Homo-oligomer: A and B are copies of this chain.
Amino acid sequence: MSRPTPLSGFPEFLPAHRQVERHVLQRLAETFELHGFANIETRAVEPLDQLLRKGETSKEVYVLRRIHDESGDAGLGLHFDLTVPFARYVLENAGKLEFPFRRYQIQKVWRGERPQEGRYREFTQADIDVIGRDTLGFHHDVEVARVMVDALRRLDFLPGFRLQVNNRKLIQGFYAGLGVSDTDAVMRAVDKLDKLTEDQVREQLVTEAELTAEQAESCLALARISTTDASFVDQVRALGVQGELMDEGLAELAAVIEGCAPLVTDRVEIVADLKIARGLDYYTGTVFETRLRGHEGLGSICSGGRYDALASDGRTTYPGVGISLGVSRVLVPLLNQGVVTADRSVPSAVLVAVVGEETRAESDALADRLRANGVPCEVAPSAQKFGKQIRHAERRGIPFVLFPSADGPPEVKDIRTGDQTPVDIATWTPPVEDLTPQIKEQQ
């Protein structure tokens, strides 16, 4: 076999980068669990008819076929997000779950994209959702925002970020109050303010959503509103539109912004941003997007919102609210740009040297004593000269080398300082900060 080349769109990590990813995933899991979210995993595949329920994403599904089954595909596709599988899991297990059900799910998803820079065909998402049976208190909208902000701020190497919140009731109520009939067409146009100029969006509002110039201007005025507190309410009211649905949306959005206010810091910005629409997704209230400071080109790294019917089996409806973090979307560029890495490529804090192959068992025994005290370590692969064994540790970033001694306690060398001292193997452990690989921001 000749040397293989990477597959475009399927990022893989070297061990040091994988350490960073594991650190991130563990930290996320810890935070979600502190907030009472239970972990689940769903199978990688769903029946195609489930995956294709929403027209838009169907083009990106990978379909499976058993290689020796010539009769056609297996009726299964790889999931392209974690929401469709979660909705199915809830319906399938409804009788065995307690509602409201808080779950987090950290898994890979697949999209059959054409190979293209920055587009992943396999990537990891971390989703939190709260789902209720029949009803779900609005305060859970505030909760999921707080939990995800808490999770992101605990990733201390991340740059600052901005959570942008809006509410579909607010904007749809506003559009309806203006006399617009096709409010979806307006949302689709406003959603493009990221990529198009205001003039181009105005043009689309008039030609595609069939608004009057005045209506289009009002929609753009609404989309321009962005405040870090509840003052957006007065700014919206100043536009002179009225309606019950809009009022409900205003109150909900104010509640999210005020509920998240205690989490605001230098790194954490929380904004009522009335241009956020989340395009074609079927949200019915709160919507979220998140941008990373200095990495705005990544788009929204963390999005979600409220669905009045996340799942339904015809008789019972399950409303839900959640946010999904694009873990690979954030990590792959940060790792590739060298923003962050781990300080060693192996878990070992100690390399136990080998004096000679005939005494390897003694080195093994020393290593087992270290492990019994929770110290990750490895034994040198061969009884080379000590200088070579030290370089073996150095190349992996292992900070300590332990030398067995025939007539006395073993000695430990800190290979960063060169200090070497005898130690009591029954009690010695490296300093806590050397015990596990550390995540380092690079300058």
Residues in A lying within 8 Å of B, measured CB to CB? 1-7, 10-15, 18-19, 22, 33-45, 47-48, 50, 53, 58-69, 73-74, 76-78, 88-89, 91-94, 96-98, 100, 102-103, 108, 110, 112, 122, 132, 137, 139-140, 143, 259, 311-314, 345-348, 357, 360-361, 371, 374-379, 381-382, 395-396
Cβ contacts under 8 Å, A2 to chain B: 313-314
Q: A1-B50, A18-B39 are in contact. List 11 more A-B contacts (CB 8 A).
A: A1-B312, A1-B314, A4-B92, A12-B40, A12-B41, A37-B347, A59-B68, A62-B65, A63-B64, A74-B112, A98-B396
A46 nearest in chain B by CB position:
B7
Interface residue from B22, B60, B67, B381 paired with A58 (Cβ < 8 Å): B67
In the complex, the answer to whether A4 meets B91 with C-beta atoms within 8 Å is: yes
Query: Which residue of the partner chain, among B76, B137, B313, contacts A1 with CB atoms under 8 Å?
Result: B313
Is there contact, CB below 8 Å, between A4 and B35?
no
Q: Is the CB of B6 within 8 A of A345?
A: no
- What is the CA–CA distance of A12 and B96 in the complex, to the nearest angstrom? 13
A371 touching B35, Cβ below 8 Å: yes
> Do residues B345 and A98 form an inter-chain contact, with CB atoms below 8 A?
yes
Q: Whole-angstrom distance between the alpha carbons of A58 and B32 in the complex?
A: 40
> Least Cβ distance of A180 to chain B in Å?
31
Contacts of A259 in B (CB 8 A): 361
Residues on the B chain within 8 Å of A37, using CB: 347
25 of the cross-chain contacts (CB-CB < 8 Å) are A1-B50, A1-B53, A1-B312, A1-B313, A3-B92, A3-B313, A4-B47, A4-B91, A7-B76, A14-B40, A14-B96, A18-B39, A33-B376, A34-B347, A34-B371, A35-B378, A38-B346, A48-B67, A58-B67, A59-B68, A62-B67, A63-B65, A64-B78, A98-B396, A100-B381
| Residues of the B chain whose Cβ atoms lie less than 8 Å from the Cβ of A122 | 43-45
Q: A45-B122, A382-B137 are in contact. Are A6 and B92 (CB under 8 A)?
A: yes
Q: Which residues of B contact A53 (CB under 8 A)?
A: 1
Closest to A373 in B: B34
State the Cβ distance, A118 to closest chain B Cβ, in Å: 17
Considering the complex, give the chain B residue whose CB is closest to the CB of A132: B381
Indicate if the CB atoms of B1 and A112 lie closer than 8 Å.
no
* Closest partner residue, chain B, to A381 (CB atom): B100
Give A186 Cβ to nearest chain B Cβ, in Å. Answer: 29
Q: Could you tell me if A64 and B67 are in contact, using CB atoms closer than 8 angstroms?
A: no
Q: Top 8 A-B pairs ranked by shortest CB distance?
A: A36-B378, A66-B112, A33-B347, A36-B348, A10-B43, A15-B38, A61-B67, A34-B371
Q: How far is the CA of A395 from the CA of B137 in the complex (A)?
A: 20
Q: Are B371 and A7 in contact (CB under 8 A)?
A: no
A99 smallest CB distance to B (angstroms): 9
In the bound assembly, the distance between CA atoms of A409 and B59 in angstroms comes to: 57
Min C-beta distance of A70 to chain B, whole Å: 11
Cβ-defined contact, A36 with B108, below 8 A:
no
Contact B45 A381 (CB under 8 A): no
How close is A36's CB to chain B, nearest CB, in angstroms?
3
